[in-house]
Amino acid sequence: MMETLSIVWAVLPIAVLFGFMLDQVIGDPRSWPHPVVGIGNMIAYLEHKLNIGAPRLRRRNGVLLTILVVGGSYLLTWGAVWAAKSLHPLFGLVISIYVIFTTLAGKSLLDAGQSVLVPLLKGDLSESRTRLSWLVSRDTENLSEGEIARGTVETLAENFVDGILSPIFYASVGGAPLAMAFKAVSTLDSMVGYRNERYKEFGWFSARTDDWANYVPARLSVPILLLAGWLRGMTVGQAYRIWKRDASGHPSPNGGNPESVVAGLLGIRLGGINIYHGQTHHRAEMGDALHPVNATDIVRCRQLVQTATWLSLIPALIIAYVV
């Protein structure tokens, strides 16, 4: 097994580079087979079987769920790469490239931001609200232009980590199997990592695992975003100050890092009042409101994230080469 892994990792920089390029060019074609669909189906099946009984049992079963899904995703991917490589080394490389490609969401994240921006620029708030509702869990029916823009910027900032930086980081460390294991962690969190009656006990370990998995990439996002901001001519000193002041106030141990930096670079205030299922929640505010949040901030945030995405490739290739 170790010999096989060393062979896979010998071509790791190539797999990371071509997987990244495929994501940038193609994005997420809905008609293509996607491993995350299989992961989601596995989670749904196991959740139906395991999310039962007393709270204590459900907590234990939640741990079992995470082990089965993450471990299974890793082993199945490793097995697929091994089997392909046993047929021909180039076939193994192709499978690794494809798997890494499916774990990245660089183009689709920018496209999601654009899908909200286009009707917003046309003054079609109804359509912008609908499209934003596809990206966030908050209620969007009555959002103003500024609140739509804020929700979109927050989504772009936070998902830069778990949709781009984290998967490429894990791909560079452990190849396609580790990248897919991270994707399993992220999918678990999106499906069962909620603090509601159904998932509070069952999904707690999945949510914590997602926090642990994103811990290092979230902090790597700070210098990458600051450098991207500098290249875009934004005020980096202000953004660094905002990060030091506001990042720790975010309810997530990781989300405050990219969001506070983006708020500082754009000169806007993120966070504040959000409504979830009719209930009002106050999220810690980040940044100084040097101007009201508007559609232009989505444009600037997309440019910032795009630059940061390409910058992320540099340390990823270095890590992959060293490993």
Percent of the chain with pLDDT over 90: 84
Q: Which tens digit of pLDDT belongs to each residue from 161-174?
A: 999 999 999 999 99
Q: Give the integer Cα–Cα distance in Å for 64 and 49.
A: 12
Mean pLDDT of 222-232: 98
pLDDT at 29: 79
Distance, in Å, from the CA atom of 295 to the CA atom of 149, rounded to the nearest integer, reads: 6
Residue 31: the pLDDT is 74
pLDDT of 8 reads 46
CA distances from 235 to 14, 160, 171, 232, 262 (A): 35, 20, 32, 9, 11
pLDDT of 7: 47
Over residues 75-90, the mean pLDDT reads: 95
Contacts 24+ apart (CB under 8 A), 112-118: 112/155, 113/152, 113/155, 113/156, 113/298, 113/301, 113/302, 113/305, 114/302, 116/148, 116/152, 116/298, 117/152, 117/295, 117/298, 117/299, 117/302
Task: Please give the Cα distance from 211 to 218 (Å, whole number).
Answer: 10
| pLDDT at residue 83, rounded to an integer | 96
Q: Does the pLDDT value for residue 213 go beyond 50?
A: yes
- What pTM, to 2 d.p., does this model score? 0.93
CA dihedral angle for residue 220, residue 226, residue 228, residue 231, rounded to 10 degrees: -150
Task: Report the SS3 class of residue 34.
Answer: coil
Instruction: Determine what percent of the chain is predicted with pLDDT higher than 70.
Output: 97
Average pLDDT over residues 280-299: 93
Q: Which residue has the higher pLDDT, 75 or 278?
A: 75
Average pLDDT of span 79-107: 95
227: pLDDT strictly greater than 90: yes
pLDDT for 278 equals 82
Mean pLDDT of 100-111: 95
Closest CA to 195 of 82, 90, 262, 276: 276
pLDDT at 4: 47
Q: What is the pLDDT of residue 195?
A: 84
Q: At 314, which amino acid appears?
A: I
